Structures are given as C-alpha cells and as structure tokens.
Structure 1
Amino acid sequence: MDIRQLQYLLQIVRSQSFTKAAERLHITQPTISKAVKNLEDELGVQLFIRSGRDITLTDAGKVIAQGAGKIVDQMEEIQNGLAELTSLQKGSISLGLPPMVGSSFFPSVIRRFRELHPGISISILEDGSKKIQAAVAAGELDMGVVLLSSPEDTFASFPVVEERLQVVLPAGHALAESDGVSLSELAAESFIMFRQDFTLHDVMLEACREAGFRPDIVCESSQWDFIGGMVAAGLGIAMLPETICKQLAPGAVSIVKLVEPLIPWRLVMIWHKEGYLSFAARKWLSFANEQLSNPIK
C-alpha cells in the first residue's frame, strides 16, 4: 500500500466514478483501475461494488477510505510543513552572543535577515564565550559568536570581527594624555574585568602574567557599559575593544592605545561540525557570513 493508491481511492469516492477520478488525476482509467486492483489484492478484500455505472464502497472499502483520508491529510500536512521549511517561510534559530557583540554588530544584520525571512524566529542567548561555546558543543544552541582563543576541532567557523584591546582610564588619569602605554606600566592599577566565564577574563590574566604581574581585580561584570561606568567613577581601569571604547561616554573616560603587548580581540561565528543544522540555520550562516565578510579592523 502506498500513498498514491490511497489518493486514487479517495478521488474515486469523491467522483463516484473511475472515469471522472482518472480525469481529475490526469491519468488513464486503466491506470487507476489497476492501482485499485493491486490494493485489493494486497489487502485481500474487495473495495468497491460495481453496478452498471454506479459504484459503492464495500464495508471493507469504507474502513480503508476512512483511514486513507486521515493518512493523506497527515501526509499533505507533512509535505506542506516541509515545503515551508525548505522555502524558509518558517523556522527557528538559536544564537549565542556575548554582550559586547549583540548591540554593536548584529542588530542591523538581524533586521535585514528578518526582512527577507519574516517567518523565521531568532532566539538569542547573551552570555560569555565559554558558556556559548559549551552550549553549541552540547547542541543547545545552533551557533554562537565567541572570542577565538585557540583552534577547536569540534567547530566550523567564519570570522566576525578583529580588533585590538585599548586601555580605558578615568578622565584626568596621569596616563590619559599618553600616545600609548604598555601593560607593564599598569601593574600598580586596579583592574575592572569581565567575569571569569568570559574568555576575555582569561586573556587578560595571561597577558598580565606575561607582563610580570598579577592584576588587582576590584570588580568583575558581564556588561561593558557597567565596566565603563566603574572606570568613569574612578574605581579602576579596564581593557575593552575599539568599537566598545567608541561607545563610552565622551569626557567621562580616556581611551589610550595599548602598545605592548598588542592584544587582539578576534570574534568568530561557530557551529558544530557534526551537528544537524536546520534549513533556517544554514540560511542564517550563509547570510551572516556574507554580511560580515569584511570584519572591522
């Protein structure tokens, strides 16, 4: 028994005629008659009673027709749903973004994607790179943006942005007018950093260690604007990417280049190499890669 045979059966019942059913299905009458005969042989029952030009269902035929209607309806529902997915009329995406990234790089990309595919919903988790990477690896997120610290065989990726960290100082700080500072010059300063579940936290600790000191961390946060506000209040200094530094309140803090060492801030979009990606997720990756193909330098 296959779906085509059931569709033929239902059309015969609706048309009350083999000939009319064949015409509506755009097939020959021998083809539809053979399909019904094959179905009867397979099931071992007679489906129709023929009396001249009149046809009626047998009791077995009524049972088969009733079940066939449900099966065909479900198959059409499946086919319609699949068509909506493959044509990107509907679908969903789960995306992980660090707080610094979401507001700076993705609102316009998401807006343009939604304009093209309004039926696709986007769920966003804002968190640090470590948690996002773990969620993508576990299949809890389709993809995410993370700070690239070391190659990871589990993921495929493409670049999002590459910048350098700069020093954020309170306005009026002794080094505020410098053309550039080295990390070792900041050894005696109090530091305001991202939380430990952010990769940037580990990057800064390692950079300070290599510069010969252990930083005095007075505060940790997950929000770059709060970190900027703490620096403006004179509670310490911070290291933030160039794009974020441009968004801090002018006059409240001073931005100075970090010249030794140069600490890169490389963000990549990652997804699991072996994981399943929906049609919507694949379209998003293609679209985002195209939109972000020229990372900000």
Structure 2
Amino acid sequence: MKIDFDGLQAFVTVAELGAFNKAADKLNITQAALTRRIQKLENYLGLRLIERTTRHVALSSVGKDLLPRVRILVQDMASTFNQLKDVSRSAKGHFTLACVPTMATSVLPALIRQYRDKYPGNRIKLVDASAYEIREAIFSQHAEIGLTVQGTRHPDLEEVPLFDDPLMFYCRQSHALSEKPFVTWSDMNLKDLIVVSSFTGTRIVMNYQLAKKGIELQGNYEVQHHATALNLVAADVGCAIMPATICGDGDRPGVIRIPLKSPVVRRKIVLIKRKGSSLSPAAQAFVDIVQSMKLVWHQ
C-alpha cells in the first residue's frame, strides 16, 4: 500500500484552516495543486472527505471521523522526517570501519579521538583485517569504509588517496648499521632479517617494487604481523623492514628506524568504499575528518 503523505497533509491543513486559499498558502503550493492532492486522496480511498461549495469548506461525515487519526499520523510522520533530518545534519549513528592493523596502531587512534570529541554519542565498530579481507568486507557490506594499503584497482571500489608510507629499516641501537644515515637493500644481512608474510599488503607492494629493480628479498624470520616483527627487533633477535607508521622515533626504547634507499619503496594508504554507494551520515562524518587530516599527513 502506498501512503499518500502529501494528500493526507493537504486534508489536515484544509480541515484546520477551513479554506483552500489559506491551506495552499501554508503548504506553499497553488490552490489548483492543493485541489489535485485532495482529489487524488479521495479517489484512492473511494470516499468524499471534503464538501466544498462556493462559499465555504466543510468536512463530510467520513472526513470528520478520519480527521483525528489522520492528524496524529501526519504529526508522527512529520516528526519522524524531522528526526531523520537531525540525524543527517548532526551525523548521529554508528558505522563499521575495516582497517589494516598497521593503521590501527598508528594513524587511526588520532582519527578516532577527533571523531569522538566531535560526535561523542556515535559508535564505531572496528574490524582489523588484511587488505584482502577489507575488500571483501566492503563488497559484502559488512563495513562501510576501509582504511587500507592500495592494491590492484577494482572497478567496483572508490579510492581516496591519503598518504605515502615509506618502508624503513628497524634495528637495535647496537646493530652494525645503526649509525648509517640511510640503509640500502644490499647493506642488509639476510641472516638476521625479519620480514612480514608474503600475504600481507605491505609485503606484496615491497616484492613488486623490488622485483622491478631485480632485487629478491628473503629473511631468516617471517611473521604474520608487524607488531610481532617490532617485538622481535626490540628483543634483539634481528632487524626488520616495516612501514614508517609502525613506530615513531623514540616510541620503543633501544629501537631506531633508518630510511631505506636504492630504491625507496612506499606503500600507498587509501580510504575505500563501494562505488556509487551513499555513506551513512556517521560514516561520512568520519571520512570528512580523514580528508581534513590529509593536509597534515602530506606535510
């Protein structure tokens, strides 16, 4: 059943004001348009609701019986629409964000703090997953947006580039390469090198860019997560190649990071969503904060 809200609103307004011209003015439409709305409603119901003469307007007996219920219905619908508008304007609500773990431990906390301060009543469900799993979450609509490493472009995804995240050499201060201003890929001793799994977005990007230079990298230790690699470096097990966002200077006592060159390898961090989809107000508000932070990240 299709509810004719315009017709119901027109009926209530005419009944309350007792005149078509006054009702048309209040609804900001012409009298002809108002008449059409009333006639359409009456035709749909198969009932005469308003008796109109050249001198006055009066409700039929059926119209009088219906008016109290229709008035409540119109008021409830108007209130609901106003609440929905408030949600849109104030970005109230909740959303699901899929994020690679490296962002969850670096960039994301600052974003969430800003979002929390601006929208304290909102809730974020955070799914930390691999780049592949994030894509699947977006496609299946288990997440509205994803913060991830750029991979192969997909025609059904929209990407917002955020910043470049260079790979760096992490080691203990006692390491043989710790005094160098930068490290080349040929400098590294593969025997004590810790690398992340070849299934991670970071490793895929690294292998692809190194292959173009004829470089193949294999370490003695392979881990699934960057956090594990960082802990092993801190424990003096070896050195590791990880993104700059993993750990800031001085964040881990005894651990330093050194720029990698020849070549410089960067992964691109992007925000993704389904192409053509409309985000909820709560999710769009988060995207707006991310967009505003791009200027800071690029400095």
Q: Look up the match of 2:160.
A: 158
Residue correspondences, number: 289
Q: Look up the match of 1:142.
A: 144
- The question of whether the paired residues in 1 share the 8 Å contact of 2:193 and 2:219 is answered with yes
Structure 1 pair 57–145 and aligned structure 2 pair: CA distance change class (3 A): same
Structure 1 pair 195–43 and aligned structure 2 pair: CA distance change class (3 A): same
Does 2:18 correspond to 1:18?
A: yes
- The question of whether the paired residues in 1 share the 8 Å contact of 2:195 and 2:218 is answered with no
Q: Look up the match of 2:169.
A: 167
CA separation in 2, counterparts of 1:37 and 1:175?
84
CA separation in 1, counterparts of 2:258 and 2:151?
24
Structure 1 pair 154–256 and aligned structure 2 pair: CA distance change class (3 A): same
- Which residue of 68, 73, 78 maps to 1:76? 78
Q: Look up the match of 1:176.
A: 178
Shift of 1:200: 0.9
- Which residue of 258, 263, 275 maps to 1:261? 263
CA separation in 1, counterparts of 2:287 and 2:119?
13
RMSD: 4.1
Q: Which ranges of structure 2 fall in alignment gaps of 5 or more residues?
A: none
CA separation in 2, counterparts of 1:211 and 1:273?
36
- The question of whether the paired residues in 1 share the 8 Å contact of 2:96 and 2:143 is answered with yes
Q: Look up the match of 2:233.
A: 231
Structure 1 pair 89–195 and aligned structure 2 pair: CA distance change class (3 A): same
CA separation in 1, counterparts of 2:235 and 2:45?
83
Structure 1 pair 202–187 and aligned structure 2 pair: CA distance change class (3 A): farther
CA separation in 2, counterparts of 1:187 and 1:255?
16
Shift of 1:254: 3.6
Structure 1 pair 99–233 and aligned structure 2 pair: CA distance change class (3 A): same
Q: Look up the match of 2:98.
A: 96
- Which residue of 73, 77, 86 maps to 2:88? 86
Q: Look up the match of 1:192.
A: 194
Does 2:264 correspond to 1:275?
A: no
Structure 1 pair 208–231 and aligned structure 2 pair: CA distance change class (3 A): farther
More deviation in 125-134 or 277-286?
277-286
Q: Secondary structure at the match of 1:214?
A: coil
CA separation in 2, counterparts of 1:87 and 1:97?
26
- The question of whether the paired residues in 1 share the 8 Å contact of 2:130 and 2:200 is answered with yes
Q: Secondary structure at the match of 2:174?
A: coil
Q: Look up the match of 1:3.
A: 5
Shift of 1:239: 1.2
Q: Look up the match of 1:219.
A: 223
The TM-score, its normalising length taken from structure 1, stands at 0.74
CA separation in 1, counterparts of 2:42 and 2:207?
77
- The question of whether the paired residues in 1 share the 8 Å contact of 2:182 and 2:258 is answered with yes
The TM-score, its normalising length taken from structure 2, stands at 0.74
Matches within 5 A, 1:279-290: 279-290=281-292
CA separation in 1, counterparts of 2:151 and 2:6?
55
CA separation in 2, counterparts of 1:274 and 1:208?
35
- The question of whether the paired residues in 1 share the 8 Å contact of 2:165 and 2:267 is answered with yes
CA separation in 2, counterparts of 1:150 and 1:8?
54
Shift of 1:74: 4.8
- The question of whether the paired residues in 2 share the 8 Å contact of 1:131 and 1:197 is answered with no
Aligned AA (2:144): D
